[in-house]
Chain A
Amino acid sequence: MSTYQEERIPFPSPWRLVKELRLRRPPWWLVALLLLVVIGTWIPLTLIYQARQQTSRLPRIHFFHDMDHQPKFGPQAAHPWYVDGRSMRQPIEGTIARGMLEHDQEYLLGYVTLDGTRASSPTRFVATLPERLSADSNLLNRGRERFGIYCAPCHGVEGAGNGPINQAAMALKEGKWVAATNLMTQMIRERTDGQLFQAISDGVRSMPSYRSQISVRDRWAIVAFVRELQQTLPVAAEPQEASSTASASASTTPATVP
């Protein structure tokens, strides 16, 4: 009997190897099992691929919660205790937050009232930019940017009243929509700076108020920019019907946002 040590197995030639392999074919079920496993491994991979391509209505799974969700209330979070569901409390009526005191009426309101509060009607509008601002390029650039964000959707980039929202509303034939005013007409040019400022702060007739969206300084910057536009662009013709519908709507539809 030969032992391991004695045996010498010659290295098989490739040809022989093939022949041997053909001879010693594994049984079909072993091959099938292996194929099945290999194919099976693709199933989770495809599922993962699919999950990566698709959107899901379910939030991600937090395996370890750590301190991901701390028992505190962030901005604009919901709160179970309050009736209105807000965690951020609204200021109590009649109170004034720090820095919100309207002590400089000309700057903060654009007009002056007799008793010094916003409640009474204006007695005099500010004619030009308040002293604490100067119409330098800084302010004008800021105004151009803010005008593009907040006014151009309705009034158009050149203030001609042809912004995309206005066009969409016209195309939809919205009965309640009042065409945005062309800001280049003589009528608007004759408005004082204070009146323009007040138009932004309080809205005019069907134009909404932008007090909450635009800061005071930015509102003045927009006024300065509108003035600049009016100086560089030609005077637009007074749209006759438009202004009559505007005044008609003034009596029928109240201002959108009080």
Chain B
Amino acid sequence: MTNITEPPPNDGEAAAESTGARYQFPRWANYLFPTLLLVAIGVFTYIPLLGTLAISPDTRAVGYQPAQPVPFSHALHAGKLQLDCRYCHSTVEYAAFAAVPPTQTCLNCHAAIKSDSPKLALVKEGFETGNPLRWIKVHDVPDFVYFNHSAHVNKGVACESCHGRIDQMEEVSQAKSLSMAWCLECHRAPEQSLRPREFVTAMGWDAQTATGKSQTELGAELAQDYHVQPLHFMTSCSTCHR
């Protein structure tokens, strides 16, 4: 308001000196306003962006890999040795819960194979005393959510869609966020993930190479064959919160 006259084209300080008494903002002060504007816009977009990214389940939940009591490797057993998931997780087709195998299942083979390995000492001890191994749960949806393995596996939703490439994991880690948005993404378009029932435990399965049909085409056919529930059921709150 004060400085409407054209100031001399040199530095602000010099101008202040020349006029003497009154303080004059230095020339660069003209940059403050645009800079502050930029900073303000930056802050208002940056903080929410940062917050969203930081608390997103993709950041917080994915990649959880607790240390297990026994160094059991899916890469070895399900990958190299080609054991079917159901050999160990035998309830996955019948029950809501996919049972983690009892020590007896391990001893089916390990009574004879690597029976003296120190890595298996806990398994043998558990079998002899009858005390279960305390595996740490990796995937855990909140208790107010109803999840059912058999409902998914019997309609041709593969383990891989929700657990990732287990057959390449030395230690299991959570591959998907298991958030409500993630569940709904599939529930709104299940045909993008359906495959014939006999391949639900297969890893690296691809509709195009296996059947010659695109996933959308095959999925739509299977959804019809398997009588997959309509959209209103799949997205109704009481389906998952019962």
Contacts and interface: CB of A to CB of B under 8 A. Distances in A.
Interface of A: 1-4, 7, 23-27, 30, 34, 37, 41, 44-45, 48, 51-61, 63, 66-70, 72, 74-76, 78, 84-86, 145, 148-150, 153, 164-165, 168-169, 172, 174, 176-178, 206, 208, 212-214, 256-257
Given A41-B42, A45-B50, A75 B99 contact: yes
A66 B111 CA distance: 45
Nearest to B88: A213
Interface stretch (B126-134, B210-218, B227-235): B126-134
B4 A169 contact: no
B161 interface: no
Nearest to A68: B142
Contacts of A51: 59, 63
B100 interface: yes
Contacts of A153: 81-84, 87
A55 B138 CA distance: 12
Contacts of A172: 113-114
A68 B4 CA distance: 64
Given A3-B4, A84-B130, A213-B90, A24 B27 contact: yes
B203 to A, nearest CB: 15
A33 to B, nearest CB: 9
B5 A2 contact: yes
B66 interface: yes
Nearest to A58: B64
A7 B3 CA distance: 12
B28 interface: yes
Interface centre among B58, B99, B143 (most CB of A within 10 A): B143
A178 B115 CA distance: 14
A41 B96 CA distance: 45
Interface stretch (B15-23, B101-109, B187-195): B101-109
B111 A208 contact: yes
Q: Is the interface of B mostly helix, strand, loop or mixed?
A: loop
A166 B211 CA distance: 31
Interface in B160-209: 171, 173, 198
A145 to B, nearest CB: 7
Contacts, number: 150
A168 to B, nearest CB: 6
A183 B142 CA distance: 47
Nearest to B60: A60
A247 B128 CA distance: 26
Contacts of A45: 50, 53
A178 B28 contact: no
A213 B4 CA distance: 90
B108 A257 contact: yes
B86 interface: yes
Contact of B59 (A48, A57, A149): A48
Contacts of A24: 27-28, 30-31
A149 B97 contact: no
16 contacts: A26-B28, A41-B46, A45-B50, A48-B53, A51-B63, A54-B63, A56-B65, A72-B143, A76-B97, A149-B84, A149-B87, A174-B114, A208-B107, A213-B90, A214-B90, A257-B107
B112 A1 contact: no
Contacts of B82: 153, 164
Contact of A2 (B4, B42, B130, B142): B4
A67 B81 contact: no
B39 A37 contact: yes
B124 to A, nearest CB: 12
A57 B143 contact: no
A23 B9 contact: yes
Most chain A CB within 10 A, of B42, B95, B100, B112, is at: B112
B62 interface: yes
